[in-house]
């Protein structure tokens, strides 16, 4: 088969572990809704076996509806569901203990509930509760829109905008409900928004269509009972509308949240509607599994070695030629006609700065300075990175900047923060950023060099955890930590050899931290992520199935490339 798969092999093998798990979990979800449920189960099993604490399990929660329906779970997923139930019980017990007026017998009963073994029946109830909660969150006409109004509605227990339960609907009520949803969808799709795939409008359309499908599936065989009423759209007609909307915001995820939909998705209904080429689907499925196996067996593949100059030239080229760079540039006033390079710093300027700072800067950073004394805002795939400062502006973080220096260091990986040690006060017992060298800053974004002594403290703490013999860290947690170390540094030996590290930090409501084993590693990340679209559907948050349509596809009836609603 000459056509390339809708995902990049190179990117999957070389990207950071968090990005790899993002790609792999989305592969599992998308292949599952195409009816490849055994493949999805194998992928999830492999991901859990490699790193149980991979941190992307929330994206896989909708698949719990499928696993429960089929009675077969991937390795680790049913265990995860049971752990969630135990956590729920623990929270309920703690909440009960805080109620001073509660009788001792009541408290005792709750504690006994917490200690009761979790049964498969408990898991079934938990999964059904998930499905019910998701269904309540789907778009319904007249639902209050603003967060403040939504909060007011919850407090006042209003019923406006709440979807009725399909299980209690009569056929006439189902007809009225679906027609109301379809009318609302068409009203949300004015001409100027016809192909919008992001934002709240697209999300509302996505969940509204799933809501209509879920209701219609309740009456799949009951058209004969609707005499005298305009015929409901068929299941295939509604699924066809969803099929041409799968690149839109949350359409795949919301479709997977429907318990009823899995009855037909698992049998390949979506693949049939799309007129998927079975040979392409089989070949891409095989390729996807081989890529995942290679990554999990051999670890993260290192890109070809490049000089700092070569990396910077690639970043400069990406930032000036990638069309997406312009869309992410408004706050930093990016000018695609100008180079990101600045005049280089002299050896004397570098020495004087080191003397002023009282420290010797890392070799890769000094190599950067000898090429360019500062660097403009570079495109890294989604947004522009803050510009790298000239020598005259770099500085140590100040003692009163404890909102920076007291941050816990997400090293060797962000996911580890959920299982890291905690002190008696409940706070993480982990290394903090401490006094770092600020080498870039723009609005809420910060770029810091992390001192060797801080990195050394991380190495010591990691080593202590891996060599502990108590029950605080089981083998699953230790295996997860080992994989993070290897992904972060390349190998255990390279981790132990780390000196200076590099850190990006974004403050605010979406605060995020990303650590790199070196300044050069950060530059490589920016260079690789800023490359012009290479057709990787997963990285573009698109649906991989659209690349599997038959060449002589009859899915034109679905209208993949047409006005989304004109066929119906």
Asked whether residue 290 is assigned to any structural domain, the reply reads no
Q: pLDDT below 50 — which residues of the chain? A: 1-2, 109-111, 144-160, 192-195, 228-229, 329-332, 556-557, 561-568
Is 247 found in the same domain as 170? yes
For residues 408 and 416, what is the distance between their CA atoms, to the nearest angstrom? Answer: 12
Is 143 found in the same domain as 131? no
Is 467 found in the same domain as 346? yes
Is 152 found in the same domain as 131? no
Is 445 found in the same domain as 368? yes
Buried-exposed string 482-506: b where 16+ CB fall within 10 A, e elsewhere: bbbbbbbbbeeeebeebebbbbbbe
Residues in the chain: 568
Is 406 found in the same domain as 375? yes
Asked whether residue 207 is assigned to any structural domain, the reply reads yes
* Structure confidence at residue 189 (pLDDT): 63
Q: What is the pLDDT of residues 471-510, one digit of tens each?
A: 778 898 899 999 999 999 999 999 999 999 999 999 988 7
Looking at the 3D structure of the chain, how many domains does it have? 3
Q: Which own/partner pairs from 90-94 qualify as long-range (CB within 8 Å, at least 24 positions apart)?
A: 90/114
**Is the CB of residue 507 less than 8 Å from the CB of residue 352?**
no
Q: Which two tokens stand for residue 19?
A: 């990005």
Angular region, 434: left φ>0, alpha ψ -120 to 50, beta rest: left
Asked whether residue 451 is assigned to any structural domain, the reply reads yes
Radius of gyration, alpha carbons of the chain: 27
Q: Which two tokens stand for residue 211?
A: 């809501």
* Structure confidence at residue 363 (pLDDT): 98
Domain that holds residue 332: 323-529
Is 515 found in the same domain as 450? yes
Is 393 found in the same domain as 485? yes
Closest CA to 76 of 57, 56, 48: 48
Residue with tokens 């998930």: 130
Is 504 found in the same domain as 392? yes
For residues 531 and 238, what is the distance between their CA atoms, to the nearest angstrom? Answer: 37
**Is the CB of residue 553 less than 8 Å from the CB of residue 275?**
yes
Asked whether residue 445 is assigned to any structural domain, the reply reads yes
Last residue of a domain, one of 216, 233, 256: 256
**Is the CB of residue 288 less than 8 Å from the CB of residue 27?**
yes
* Structure confidence at residue 385 (pLDDT): 95
**Is the CB of residue 531 less than 8 Å from the CB of residue 155?**
no
Last residue of a domain, one of 214, 241, 256: 256
Q: Report helix, strand or coil for 395.
A: strand
Asked whether residue 301 is assigned to any structural domain, the reply reads no
* Structure confidence at residue 4 (pLDDT): 61
Q: Which residues are registered as beta bridge partners of 155?
A: none
Is 518 found in the same domain as 383? yes
Distance of CA 204 to CAs 140, 199, 214, Å? 9, 9, 15
Is 118 found in the same domain as 145? no
Asked whether residue 552 is assigned to any structural domain, the reply reads no
Asked whether residue 48 is assigned to any structural domain, the reply reads no
pTM value is: 0.85
What is the number of helices (H) and of strands (E) in the chain? 24, 5
**Is the CB of residue 322 less than 8 Å from the CB of residue 34?**
no
DSSP 161: T
* Structure confidence at residue 184 (pLDDT): 87
Q: What are phi and psi of 393, to 5 degrees?
A: -110, -10
Burial (CB < 10 A; 0-12, 13-18, 19+), residue 73, is buried
Asked whether residue 545 is assigned to any structural domain, the reply reads no
Is 514 found in the same domain as 391? yes
Last residue of a domain, one of 221, 256, 291: 256
* Structure confidence at residue 3 (pLDDT): 56
Pairing relationship of beta strands 501-506 and 437-442 according to DSSP bridges: unpaired
Q: Which two tokens stand for residue 137?
A: 């969150």
């Amino acid at each position: 088969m000459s056509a390339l798969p809708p995902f990049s092999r190179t990117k999957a093998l070389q990207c950071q572990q968090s990005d790899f798990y993002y790609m792999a979990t989305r592969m599992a979800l998308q292949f599952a809704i195409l009816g490849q449920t055994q493949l999805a189960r194998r992928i999830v099993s492999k991901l859990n076996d490699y790193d149980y604490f991979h941190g992307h399990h929330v994206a896989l929660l909708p698949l719990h509806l499928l696993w429960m329906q089929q009675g077969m779970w991937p390795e680790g997923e049913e265990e995860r569901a049971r752990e969630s139930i135990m956590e729920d019980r623990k929270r309920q017990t703690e909440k009960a203990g805080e109620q001073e007026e509660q009788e001792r017998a009541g408290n005792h009963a709750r504690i006994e509930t917490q200690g009761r073994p979790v049964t498969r029946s408990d898991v079934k109830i938990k999964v059904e509760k998930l499905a019910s909660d998701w269904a309540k969150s789907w778009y319904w006409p007249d639902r209050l829109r603003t967060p403040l109004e939504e909060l007011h509605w919850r407090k006042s227990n209003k019923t406006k905008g709440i979807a009725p339960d399909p299980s209690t609907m009569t056929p006439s009520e189902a007809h009225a409900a679906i027609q109301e949803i379809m009318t609302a969808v068409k009203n949300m799709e004015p001409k100027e928004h016809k192909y919008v795939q992001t934002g709240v409008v697209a999300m509302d359309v996505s969940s509204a269509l799933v809501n209509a499908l879920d209701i219609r599936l309740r009456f799949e065989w009951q058209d004969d009972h609707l005499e005298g009423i305009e015929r409901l759209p068929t299941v295939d007609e509604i699924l066809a509308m969803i099929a041409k909307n799968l690149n839109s915001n949350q359409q795949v995820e919301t479709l997977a949240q429907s318990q009823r939909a899995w009855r037909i998705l698992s049998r390949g209904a979506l693949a049939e509607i799309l007129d998927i080429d079975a040979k392409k689907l089989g070949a891409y499925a095989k390729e996807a599994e081989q890529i995942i196996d290679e990554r999990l067996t051999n670890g993260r593949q290192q890109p070809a070695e490049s000089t700092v100059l070569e990396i910077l030239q690639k970043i400069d080229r990406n930032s000036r030629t990638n069309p997406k760079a312009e869309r992410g540039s408004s706050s930093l006033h990016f000018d695609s006609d100008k180079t990101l390079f600045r005049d280089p710093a002299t050896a004397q300027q570098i020495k004087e700065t080191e003397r002023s700072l009282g420290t010797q800067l890392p070799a890769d950073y000094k190599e950067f300075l000898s090429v360019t004394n500062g660097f403009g805002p570079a495109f890294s795939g989604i947004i522009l990175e803050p510009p790298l400062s000239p020598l005259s502006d770099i500085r140590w973080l100040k003692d009163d900047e404890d909102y920076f220096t007291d941050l816990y260091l997400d090293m060797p990986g962000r996911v580890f923060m959920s299982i890291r040690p905690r002190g008696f006060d409940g706070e993480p017992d982990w290394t903090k950023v401490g006094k770092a060298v600020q080498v870039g800053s723009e609005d809420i974004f910060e770029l810091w060099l992390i001192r060797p002594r801080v990195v050394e403290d991380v190495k010591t703490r990691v080593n202590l955890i891996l060599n502990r013999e108590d029950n605080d860290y089981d083998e699953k947690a230790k295996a997860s930590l080992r994989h993070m170390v290897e992904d972060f540094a390349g190998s255990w030996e390279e981790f132990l050899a780390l000196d200076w590290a590099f850190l990006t930090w974004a403050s605010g409501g979406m605060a995020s931290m990303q650590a790199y084993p070196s300044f050069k590693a950060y530059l490589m990340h920016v260079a690789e992520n800023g490359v012009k679209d290479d057709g990787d559907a997963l990285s573009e948050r698109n649906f991989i199935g659209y690349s599997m349509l038959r060449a002589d596809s009859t899915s034109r009836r679905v209208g993949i490339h047409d006005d989304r609603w004109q066929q119906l």
